Structure 1
Amino acid sequence: MKQYIAIALLICCTSLIKSQNIEAFLIPQPKTLEIKNGQLNQQLNTQLPTEELYQFLKSLCAFDYVGQITHFTSPYAQHSISFLLDDSINTNDAYTLDIDSASISIKAKNLAGLYYGKQTLQQLISYSETTQQNIPALHISDAPDFERRGYMLDISRNKVPTMESIFKLIDLLASLKINEFQLYTEHTFAYKNHKMVWEGCSPITPEEIQIIDLYCKSKHIDLVPNQNSFGHMENWLRHDEYLHLAECPEDCKTIWGMRKRTSLNPVDPKSLELMEELYAELLPNFSSKYLNIGCDETVELGCGETKEICKEKGKGTIYLEYLIKLNNAANKNGVESQFWGDIVLNHPELIKDIPTNMTAVIWGYEAEYPFETNLPKFKDAGLDFYVCPGTSTWRSLIGRNKNAFENQRRAAFYGKANGAKGYLNTTWGDYGHWQPLSVVYPSIMTGAAYSWNSDVDPKLNLENQLNTYVFKDKTGNTAKAVLKLGNAYLKAEIPSGNANAFHLMLRRYAWTMNGQYQTKHLKAKNLDKANKEIDDALTILNDASPSADSLTVIDELKHAADMAKHGIMLGKARLAAPKKSTENISRAELEELINDINIIIENHQKLWLLRNRDGGSQESLGNLNDLKEYYQEALNKK
């Protein structure tokens, strides 16, 4: 008897020790994880084979099965597996997961909760398969901090992903317990009467949206249509046929300088008529009860056609009146509207007048964005609202991870404290959508983790989780390299902003360095430090072995790093040139820059097509070609 007790104690103690790194495999972290004595598949102190059981569990988790099954693993042992709905659980999407030596039980209030419990179970299986340890007996009680946990991808700034890419992204989001997905569109939906706007852009078709919607529903994700309806209409207004709808048909002086053709004229009835037509065609392809109508960054408002009426009634009032008209148009199509909250924050006295069936999406993408100040303004008005941080990957080439992670953490903390309904993590594609998907993965995962459990720091186990669930790299080096690249921008030591030094150089090649609040702080020694950090990351990447999209991931990361290093090369050359001007760079350096940019342009086109449709690639490449031409013109003057 003493021998059996000793063996049992040894097994239990071993299980407890080896289970201590389970958290490294769980994303998002459950609210409660209690490790108990014993382990799954432990019968009479004998470790039974688990491969058959795990394969069965994986297949069972692949669909919305509800019920109880007895599964035999040998003639001498059996397992009871139950996935049950339980009305005693009070919160939608919450679940409990219990495992002992011979049973697995997941209970939830709704099917989505069961689905999320199964995602956690599959991560436990990954833990067991990776560490070669049995899953310990345990109890998990879990529930999300936010009812709506979303991710938004910009598909209007050049990159429109292939259907295969969209499906793979949805799979990842579902595994992270995301339940809302938005594809941000300005002109990349194939509206039947507006071919001029989307022709050559490889738009998403109505039939494709219907397929994506069904796929999302199978993963308990709500595909929310997102059509900007006020500002950011430049891809429409660039065409003369729509110019009569513009707030500024010609240059207007705005807070962003001279601008034109980006915003609709909100007092022209034909602007509303256009959006009503678009909504009527767009919305039947979605099953969601929501529509994101956009309405952000309307910087032209009051500077052109509405200048006089804005002086008379107030710019905020004109904005709100049009916002309400758009909401009514959405309501007529049976949906409720979401809108970006930035503009109305300039007129906080009007927030109380926003219809209560609208949801404000409060976005801010810098680490220090004052969610704590802005959220109560919507809460006090009785409105539903989301917090909206970002991945900080646009205008970065290789990421700004430190900024992203802190931005996401603060959004979650203050969103939860103020009762936000949702958390929407965003990826934008400003100025060519040059960043590849591979550098976005870390901040997709951290954003998802914070939206479920805002009390746990997801960075602690991020490297392991990226390698396990995204890159599938047993060497661990892919994630290590990605995370190192994503913080290389810090070595440049310039003030924070919505771009890093590498992208700033590629974008601002014709503008003064001293006249911009970030670039005026650039120093060659700091660019050298950043360059070394990137090279160190590439050395790590050379020893990586990702099995998921392996060639795509490696090539994408090397290309992004090459672009960043080109920005460094240009930055150093400018710092040494008279007046820090690109035109004054030496002949030898210009020739080197031209040779380097030629390689980058060639790789950019090739890699674009691995995940994205061709439409938009030429516009994105055009920004690089413009830089090359600027070099060539400067060289020709030598």
Structure 2
Amino acid sequence: MAVLSEPTLDLLPRPRRLRLDGRARARPGQGAHRRTAGLPAQGYRLALAHDGAVTIESADDAGRFYAEATLAQLVRAAPAGAEGTVPVGEIEDWPDLATRGVMLDVSRTKVPTLATLFDLVDRIASWKLNHLQLYIEHTYAYPGHEEVWGEADPYDASDLARLSAYCAERHVTLAANRNCLGHMERWLLHDRYAPLGIIQGVGPGPMGLTFAASTLDPSNPACLGLVRELVAELVDAVPSEVVHIGLDEPWDLPASRTGEWAGWLRQLRSLPELEGRELLVWGDMPAAHPELLVDLAGGPGVTVCEWGYEADHPFAPRLRALADAGVSSWVAPGTSSWLSVLGRTSNAVENCRGALHAAAQGGAGGMLVTDWGDFGHHQPLAVSDPGLAAAAALSWCAATNEDISAQRLAHLLDLHCYQDEADELGAAVASLGDAHTLQPVQLPNISGLVLHLYFPQLPVTPALHPDLSAAHMARVQAAIEDAVAALGRARPKSEHGRLAAEELAVAAGLVTLCCADARARLEGDGTMASVPSAVRAGLEARMTEAISAHRAQWLARNRPGGLDESCAWLEHVRACYRAGGAEEEWAGPLVAAARARQARR
């Protein structure tokens, strides 16, 4: 057989070792399988003979599953005129990281239907990802706490049992994820739980914004009682060996009380319900306060997830610090979908590349790529696909997937996600996700194109960037229009691809509206008040259409709960167009609700 120095097959992920017999191809026929001790865990050897015989050797059941996934991709990637055939040769493959996970935010308004989750599991398993977490704040039906989740359409124990079983059949582990300190806004909003917070009502948050009270008071014994009850319910529903307990962004915890974070972790670690389980915690507090590493190193079964969502996040030095302190780690890059509507494609790819390179060098034991839904979860699910695919490729074998890029992912997604015969949809997803790069306002964790969608009180002026002009917005609009035209040419065969094309067209319309808003502001003093009333009336009409489209598409993938809150962000902007100005203290519907309740108290 001829040994190729560079694998050229369109596989996601590319395998570790590939030997082909020239250009010979065969139609796969009879298959045989045997276990072998000569491969690493989850590894496989796939031999494809001239007569079509298929032989799979695997280290375990997962390895066999991944061999069969590779075979299915080989068939799908057959060139025109050779449909149904595979190349003759041998693939030998195994993962860099034992745990390659996805964390899906199901608490920021969108609660996906079980059908949506099953489809997602099929997709990520086919890319050899093997771990799933649902980020839960209030979207589990905790008995006795109906006032918190009553309008959220939450999951119950039966839902999670079905999902766990579905995952297991595809060699994906469903693990429990329950924030246990910060991000408790949805609980502290209610009178019954408000006394458990460090503060009540609202308070200062990051970026100078006002946030709803969000952090439990670790010195209050009642807080531990509540958390123990919530954790016990969730781990009973999802009996995983790994439990993510969060502990990130305790905004309300004063600097003088930082040491209480470690004490709170010790209390959680000692809960009987968590005995024998590996606890995952987010890495922002240990990174900001290295003195906490002493406590982490001293406690068994705690792993730090080092998270960061920009292309230049310092994963490598953060992992070195954890390793030097004797603390185990995972890396947690992101899909860059949230706070963007259309994504930040290339940033997501580079963020995943940096994380997985650092993982290889720094000894991280796993990867958890995150997909958040901050501020109304307005992005379509397909916006996350490039980041998920990049994370899958790089966590499986970083060396052979080194050249992964937005352009290469576009074609791979058309093959192995959308099944687009026109090879258009993947490129449209990538182009829409990089449209924000055509203007100079580049901010961390958010697309500059939608900053004034979430905070219409912020002026759009060259103060954001000295080179910002209406011409930049026109360039973005033209790029979006080109991508939307490509969506129209796409011919996806998968249901996910069909929905993606429809949803992306609606999302593109919303961002085009944001561009028109910005252009109008740049012709004035940057404020909404400087936009002529006739122009605002036109923007208001377009926002009404955008809200209707958002509502119409929501139920194709998600439960109804959360839709009204998601729309409230857009309805606020529409109200600002009508009024001719923006509310200076606006920070979202949840903060507005917290203020109202605080006033009534």
TM-score normalized with structure 2 length = 0.91
Deviation at 1:28, TM superposition (A): 0.5
Question: Which residue of the partner structure matches residue 472 of structure 1?
Answer: 419
Question: Which residue of the partner structure matches residue 571 of structure 2?
Answer: 625
Residue 566 of structure 1 aligns with an amino acid whose one-letter code is L
Question: Which residue of the partner structure matches residue 20 of structure 2?
Answer: 35
Question: Which residue of the partner structure matches residue 502 of structure 2?
Answer: 555
Q: Does 2:132 correspond to 1:185?
A: no
Residue 634 of structure 1 aligns with an amino acid whose one-letter code is G
Deviates more, 1:490-499 or 1:627-636: 627-636
Q: Does 2:245 correspond to 1:293?
A: yes
Q: Distance in 2 between matches of 1:632 and 1:342?
A: 41
Cα distance change of structure 1 residues 251 and 438 upon mapping to structure 2, 3 Å threshold: closer
Structure number, greater radius of gyration? 1
Q: Does 2:78 correspond to 1:147?
A: no
Residue 293 of structure 2 aligns with an amino acid whose one-letter code is I
Does the residue aligned with 1:382 lie in a helix, a strand or coil? coil
2:327 equivalent among 364, 375, 383: 383
1:591 equivalent among 512, 537, 542: 537
Question: Which residue of the partner structure matches residue 542 of structure 1?
Answer: 488
Cα distance change of structure 1 residues 130 and 394 upon mapping to structure 2, 3 Å threshold: farther
Question: Which residue of the partner structure matches residue 327 of structure 1?
Answer: 269
Deviates more, 1:452-461 or 1:600-609: 452-461
Residue 386 of structure 2 aligns with an amino acid whose one-letter code is P
Cα distance change of structure 1 residues 256 and 633 upon mapping to structure 2, 3 Å threshold: same
Q: Does 2:478 correspond to 1:532?
A: yes
Report if aligned partners of 2:111, 2:559 keep a CA contact under 8 Å in 1. Answer: yes
Question: Which residue of the partner structure matches residue 25 of structure 1?
Answer: 10
Does the residue aligned with 1:177 lie in a helix, a strand or coil? coil
Report if aligned partners of 2:282, 2:307 keep a CA contact under 8 Å in 1. Answer: yes
Q: Distance in 1 between matches of 2:499 and 2:87?
A: 37
Does the residue aligned with 1:241 lie in a helix, a strand or coil? coil
Q: Distance in 2 between matches of 1:497 and 1:345?
A: 18
1:418 equivalent among 344, 362, 374: 362
Residue 234 of structure 1 aligns with an amino acid whose one-letter code is E
Question: Which residue of the partner structure matches residue 306 of structure 1?
Answer: none
Report if aligned partners of 1:527, 1:568 keep a CA contact under 8 Å in 2. Answer: yes
Give the alignment of 1:598-617 within 5 angstroms. Answer: 598-617=544-563
Question: Which residue of the partner structure matches residue 196 of structure 2?
Answer: 245
String of CA shifts for 1:436-456, please: whole Å, max 9, x gaps: 012221221111111111122
Question: Which residue of the partner structure matches residue 107 of structure 1?
Answer: 57
Cα distance change of structure 1 residues 254 and 124 upon mapping to structure 2, 3 Å threshold: closer
Does the residue aligned with 2:192 lie in a helix, a strand or coil? helix
Deviation at 1:416, TM superposition (A): 0.8
Give the alignment of 1:103-502 within 5 angstroms. Answer: 103-128=53-78, 132=82, 134-253=85-204, 256-257=207-208, 258-302=210-254, 311=256, 315-329=257-271, 332=274, 334-354=276-296, 355-455=299-399, 456=401, 457-459=403-405, 461-502=408-449
Cα distance change of structure 1 residues 108 and 370 upon mapping to structure 2, 3 Å threshold: same
Deviation at 1:268, TM superposition (A): 0.5
RMSD over equivalenced CA pairs, Å = 2.2
Q: Does 2:37 correspond to 1:87?
A: yes
Q: Distance in 1 between matches of 2:414 and 2:274?
A: 47
Residue 45 of structure 2 aligns with an amino acid whose one-letter code is T
Q: Distance in 1 between matches of 2:382 and 2:112?
A: 14
Report if aligned partners of 1:481, 1:538 keep a CA contact under 8 Å in 2. Answer: yes
Deviation at 1:434, TM superposition (A): 0.3
Q: Distance in 1 between matches of 2:182 and 2:449?
A: 28
Cα distance change of structure 1 residues 519 and 622 upon mapping to structure 2, 3 Å threshold: farther
Does the residue aligned with 1:141 lie in a helix, a strand or coil? strand
Question: Which residue of the partner structure matches residue 45 of structure 1?
Answer: none
Cα distance change of structure 1 residues 380 and 564 upon mapping to structure 2, 3 Å threshold: same
Does the residue aligned with 1:440 lie in a helix, a strand or coil? helix
Deviates more, 1:95-104 or 1:252-261: 252-261
Report if aligned partners of 1:279, 1:330 keep a CA contact under 8 Å in 2. Answer: no
String of CA shifts for 1:368-404, please: whole Å, max 9, x gaps: 1001111111112222211000010101111101111
Deviates more, 1:285-294 or 1:619-628: 285-294
Q: Which runs of 5+ in 1 are unaligned?
A: 1-11, 42-49, 55-70, 72-80, 303-309
Report if aligned partners of 2:7, 2:18 keep a CA contact under 8 Å in 1. Answer: no
Report if aligned partners of 2:333, 2:370 keep a CA contact under 8 Å in 1. Answer: yes
- Higher RCO (CA < 8 A, seq sep 6+): 2
Question: Which residue of the partner structure matches residue 588 of structure 2?
Answer: none
Residue 61 of structure 2 aligns with an amino acid whose one-letter code is L
Q: Which runs of 5+ in 2 are unaligned?
A: 583-601
Deviates more, 1:280-289 or 1:245-254: 245-254
String of CA shifts for 1:595-628, please: whole Å, max 9, x gaps: 1001001000000111000000000001111111
Does the residue aligned with 1:231 lie in a helix, a strand or coil? coil
Report if aligned partners of 1:202, 1:614 keep a CA contact under 8 Å in 2. Answer: yes
Deviates more, 1:561-570 or 1:466-475: 466-475
Q: Distance in 2 between matches of 1:156 and 1:94?
A: 35
Residue 629 of structure 1 aligns with an amino acid whose one-letter code is A
Does the residue aligned with 2:318 lie in a helix, a strand or coil? helix
Q: Distance in 1 between matches of 2:194 and 2:460?
A: 35
Q: Distance in 2 between matches of 1:538 and 1:184?
A: 32
Deviates more, 1:616-625 or 1:534-543: 534-543
Cα distance change of structure 1 residues 197 and 334 upon mapping to structure 2, 3 Å threshold: farther
Does the residue aligned with 1:562 lie in a helix, a strand or coil? helix
Does the residue aligned with 2:100 lie in a helix, a strand or coil? strand
The number of aligned residues is 573
Does the residue aligned with 2:271 lie in a helix, a strand or coil? helix
Deviation at 1:572, TM superposition (A): 0.9
Report if aligned partners of 2:232, 2:273 keep a CA contact under 8 Å in 1. Answer: no
Q: Distance in 2 between matches of 1:183 and 1:213?
A: 11
Cα distance change of structure 1 residues 574 and 465 upon mapping to structure 2, 3 Å threshold: same
Question: Which residue of the partner structure matches residue 593 of structure 2?
Answer: none
